[in-house]
């Protein structure tokens, strides 16, 4: 599937669990599990003063300004415990706070984001479905980052992983090694 190609029944920004189950395993689809290694809060009331013991969170800077990563963020190269306990078959894990944001909490530059997404098996030709823990803080932030760098075929799974499980959809503990993708970060002028 080429970027921008419309699939019958394909959602615009939200993917239903039914649509995902019907398309699971398609070569043009990448399911990216963005459940965080530690609980993450979403803060939409704007930035506030931070302390060293703040829990990790994403702060929306404004409707058009984007997001900032705040609080103490654990450094890990391993998938989250939630991912290892069970995930959608064929999905890959991505630590949004650790890979898409730098030490200061700002979004990484285009080449760094391209490398993170390529390592997650995402290429320009893929439709990405982001899976979160039900409250889509990390999924919203990842979708914003991908769209900011030109990847419009980015969807969020409605209800996240909890809905997927509640509907009795397949879950696995097998970690699938997806092939390295070729993701291009594009900036608009």
DSSP of 75-100: --SSPPHHHHH-B-TT-EE--HHHHS
Q: How confident is the model at residue 98 (pLDDT cuts 50, 70, 90)?
A: confident
Query: Which residue, among 15, 5, 11, has the nearest Cα to 132 in the 3D structure?
Result: 15
39 CB-near residues (< 8 Å, 6+ apart)? 55, 56
Output Rg (C-alpha) for the chain, integer angstroms: 16
Which of 26-35, 95-104, 127-136 has the lowest average pLDDT?
95-104
Q: How far apart are CA 139 and CA 75, in angstroms?
A: 19
Query: Is 14-41+80-166 a domain of CATH 2.60.40.1120?
Result: no
Kindly provide the b/e burial profile for residues 50-67, where b requires at least 16 CB atoms within 10 angstroms of the residue's own CB. eeeeeebbbbbeeeeeeb
What does pTM read for this prediction? 0.78
Q: How confident is the model at residue 72 (pLDDT cuts 50, 70, 90)?
A: low
pLDDT beyond 50 at 8: no
Q: Which residue has the tokens 């097998």?
A: 174
Q: How far apart are CA 152 and CA 112, in angstroms?
A: 18
Pull the structure tokens for residue 49. 């003063």
């Amino acid at each position: 599937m080429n970027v921008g190609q419309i699939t019958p029944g394909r959602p615009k920004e939200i993917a239903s669990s039914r649509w995902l189950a019907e398309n699971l395993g398609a070569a043009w689809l990448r399911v990216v599990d963005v459940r965080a290694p530690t609980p993450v809060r979403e803060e939409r009331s704007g930035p506030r003063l931070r302390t060293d013991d703040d829990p990790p969170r994403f702060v929306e800077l404004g409707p058009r300004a984007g997001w900032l990563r705040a609080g103490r963020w654990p450094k890990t190269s391993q998938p989250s415990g939630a991912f290892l306990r069970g995930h959608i078959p064929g999905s890959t894990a991505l630590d949004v706070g650790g890979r898409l944001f730098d030490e200061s909490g700002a979004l990484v530059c285009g080449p760094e984001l391209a490398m993170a997404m390529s390592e997650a098996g995402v290429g320009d030709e893929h439709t990405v479905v982001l899976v979160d823990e039900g409250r889509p803080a990390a999924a919203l932030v990842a979708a914003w980052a991908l769209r900011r760098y030109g990847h419009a075929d980015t969807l969020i799974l409605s209800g996240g992983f909890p809905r997927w499980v509640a509907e009795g959809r397949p879950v696995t503990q097998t970690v699938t090694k997806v092939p390295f993708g070729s993701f291009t970060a594009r900036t608009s002028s």
